[in-house]
Amino acid sequence: MREFTNPPLALAPPVGGLADVVFQHAQEDPLYLALGRKDDDGQWRDVTAAEFRDEVLALAKGLLARGIRFGDRVAVMSRTRYEWTLFDFALLSIGAQVVPLYPTSSAEQCFWALYDAECTAAIVEHEDHAMTIATVIDRLPQLHQLWQLDAGAVQELYDAGAYLDDEIVHRHRQAVTPDSIATIIYTSGTTGRPKGCVITHGNFMYEADTVIERWEPVFHSKKGDEAATLLFLPLAHVFGRMVQIAAIRGKVKFGHQPQLNAAALLPDLAAFKPTFFLGVPYIFEKVFNASRRKAEKEGKAGPFEKAVEIAVKYAEAMEAKAWGTGPGPSAGVRMQHQLFDKLVYSKLRAAMGGRIRHAMTGGSGMDRRLGLFFAGAGVHIYEGYGLTETTAAATANPPERTRYGTVGQPIPGMTVHIADDGEIWLHGHNVFQGYLNNQKATDETLHDGWLATGDLGALDEDGYLTITGRKKEILVTSGGKSVSPGVLEERVRDHPLVSQCIVVGNDRPYIAALVTLDQEAVEHWLTMRNKPQMLPADLVRDADLETEVRRAVVAANTLVSQAESIRTFRILAQPFTEEHGLLTPSLKLKRKAIENAYANEVEALYRA
């Protein structure tokens, strides 16, 4: 199949702007529990719709009092926290345009976004962020104001705007239309300078409302309960931002978690008790690998692997039943599944708060077997695909018919077209308006409303999309063989000891790979084998460890022809990090930067 269109839902045409819903909900149901936030003592407390509206209104008045006007661009640089959402809706309510900056951004990355977007003000989380911007402030003559969250910025602005009448905010809000620009989100920039995606209020409303309407059953643990989600995705990323907007618009109780380590996240999952959550595949890989390591430490590796096998069998049988190609799980599988639900799966769900039965994922490919395991364990993960340019999701697996290993069908109202060269083209109301100050890139990407994504894919007979690679990442060996590195890299990463993998081989005689290790997993592996802990430089030369990684490479090679297979590899002592300029803020590999940084190691792979 070359093209598939999913008919739009019968949604009301968008009117007004994104902030209107904050005021509508407060008027219709002022005591509705809109958000949860942590107090100074670290305890979760509820925020009603009326309280949130009052805070948005007070902050919006403060921003106006300090000179922020309709159409001004204001940057926000912070981890995922309540104040991010508060500033977002306050700025949107007065027609200002929000420019998110990743909290890990370098001074030069901040400079480019602030300069290119001509930001007049910025909100930062703490002193380190303020100092980062201070180092480039002399090159930003248009940046007049800087507020710091941890230095009382919210209260300062409340006080500044206290003398203004509420009506001035409402006049600004009523001037916002669906065509008004809501935000400029800069792409991660795996190659070249990041580009500013111009996204309107209408783009976000269409995207969020479509997701709410089509996937609403996914938000609940059981029918009729209160939907709640804890966001730990960065709000600087379009995925996290869409979740925030959809939660506010869809009356999903919404909380923030700024730290992605288990020590911080697990207690908050237990306290907040979300009914569903959204995360990148990396999160689910970490949960699975941590559960496996725990079982091994307790001497229960065998039963855990059996539980995985039964979960996958159960989910595969349920998938076949949904598609009418099988009767469902056999009596034997059902009995074993029931046993492991008490022994293993229920503990996994309890670690995620106890109420989660559904999750959504995107951002990178998810292994089919991993998705099947979670479904069999009682947490159904719906994989999707999208870009900043499509205001997040362009495709997603529907609730009633998941096809694991694919990124689903186009969301309602979107068309997916596969071009002659395999490139994915997209069309729909959530497609962005173009790149800020970059007509050349806009003309290369947008063609009469169609977005050329740069990704490669295939549609099956039911319109389900599978991502097969990225045009710019295709490697061509010196023998003329074209190789898509993604499928190999993902399979190597499936091994619990492997953290990252990059495949090389452009203009080389064969394909090779650089591999980094998961330090936590390696420490556990050494302990379980009574081997002494080693320094990274010694570890990469350990013969047993090399054998383990070789198994991962051999498994990856079964997916491709001999000419496309990884012939040799090297284990690196250090991971690729954002701090060293080797990853984007959304954790994508910067291929050219990695190959340059490890030029000697790459050359060594091709020495006779």
Tens of pLDDT, residue by residue over 388-437, are 999 999 999 999 899 999 999 999 999 999 999 999 999 999 999 999 99
Q: Is the pLDDT of residue 239 over 90?
A: yes
Mean pLDDT of 457-486: 89
Tens of pLDDT, residue by residue over 116-129, are 999 999 999 999 99
Mean pLDDT of 14-20: 96
Mean pLDDT of 462-467: 96
Q: Is the pLDDT of residue 330 over 90?
A: yes
User: What CATH fold (topology level) applies to the domain 276-470?
Assistant: Rossmann fold (3.40.50)
Largest CA distance in the chain: 77
pLDDT at 473: 84
Which of the residue ranges 269-273, 442-446, 481-485 would you say has the lowest mean pLDDT? Answer: 481-485
Q: Is the pLDDT of residue 561 over 90?
A: no
Q: What is 19-175+226-272's CATH number?
A: 3.40.50.12780
Residue 452 structure tokens? 């050329």
Q: In whole angstroms, what is the distance from residue 181 CA to residue 95 CA? A: 8
- State percent of the chain over pLDDT 70: 99
Same fold, 19-175+226-272 and 474-605: no
* pLDDT-based confidence at residue 272 (cuts at 50, 70, 90): very high
pLDDT at 340: 96
β-sheet bridge partners, residue 515: 501, 571
* pLDDT-based confidence at residue 192 (cuts at 50, 70, 90): low
Mean pLDDT of 66-79: 97
What does the DSSP 8-state code read for residue 509?
A: S
Sign of CA dihedral 254, 255, 260, 264: negative
Q: Is the pLDDT of residue 263 over 70?
A: yes
* pLDDT-based confidence at residue 190 (cuts at 50, 70, 90): low
What is the pLDDT of the chain when averaged over all its residues? Answer: 93
pLDDT at 538: 84
Which of the residue ranges 295-304, 408-417, 468-477 would you say has the lowest mean pLDDT? Answer: 468-477
Q: What angle do CA 92, 95, 97 make, to 5 degrees?
A: 70
pLDDT at 73: 98
pLDDT at 398: 95
pLDDT at 240: 94
Select from 3.30.300.30, 3.20.20.70, 3.40.50.2300, 3.30.70.560 the CATH code of 474-605. 3.30.300.30
Mean pLDDT of 75-79: 98
- State percent of the chain over pLDDT 90: 76
Coil, helix or strand at residue 422: coil
Q: Is the pLDDT of residue 373 over 70?
A: yes
Kindly list the domain boundaries of the chain, sorted by start residue: 19-175+226-272, 276-470, 474-605
Mean pLDDT of 544-553: 93
What are residue 569's phi and psi, to 5 degrees?
-150, 165
Q: In whole angstroms, what is the distance from residue 49 CA to residue 40 CA? A: 21
Instruction: Tell me the pTM.
Output: 0.89
